[in-house]
Structure 1
Amino acid sequence: MGTIFIVFAVIILFYINALTNSLCIQKEIPAERQPKVFRFINVMITILLVSSYVELLYT
């Protein structure tokens, strides 16, 4: 089950990054701010995925 969750998490991260890129293009976010946007969103999604995994482990 852990392997399936990890594969699923990687797919989600790639998809979220594609959506973030679309957001940056649509909202015309300057290139110097884009790394901060990507970092913030990736950290938040990673926290969400880790907490989901921990919840699955202990239920």
Structure 2
Amino acid sequence: MISVFIVFAIFILFYVNKMTNSLCIQKEIPEENQHKVFRTINVLITILLISSYLEILYT
């Protein structure tokens, strides 16, 4: 089960990063601020994925 969830998590992170890149291009966010946007979104998505995995694991 963990291997399926890891593949799913990698797919989600890749797709969210793709959408974040589109957001940065559309909103014309400066290059120096894009790193902060990507870091913030990746940390939040990682927390969401970990909490959802723990919820699946313990229910």
**TM norm structure 1:** 0.99
For residues 10-21 of structure 1, the aligned pairs below 5 Å read 10-21=10-21
Structure with greater proportional helix content: 2
Give identity over the alignment, percent.
Answer: 73
RMSD: 0.3
Q: How many correspondences in the alignment?
A: 59
Q: CA deviation at 1:10?
A: 0.2
One-letter code of the match for 1:8?
A: F
Q: CA deviation at 1:45?
A: 0.1
Separation in 2, partners of 1:58, 1:11: 23
**Structure 2 unaligned residues grouped into runs of 5+:** none
Give 4+ residue runs of structure 1 displaced > 4 Å after superposition: none
For residues 31-50 of structure 1, the aligned pairs below 5 Å read 31-50=31-50
One-letter code of the match for 1:48?
A: L
**Structure 1 unaligned residues grouped into runs of 5+:** none
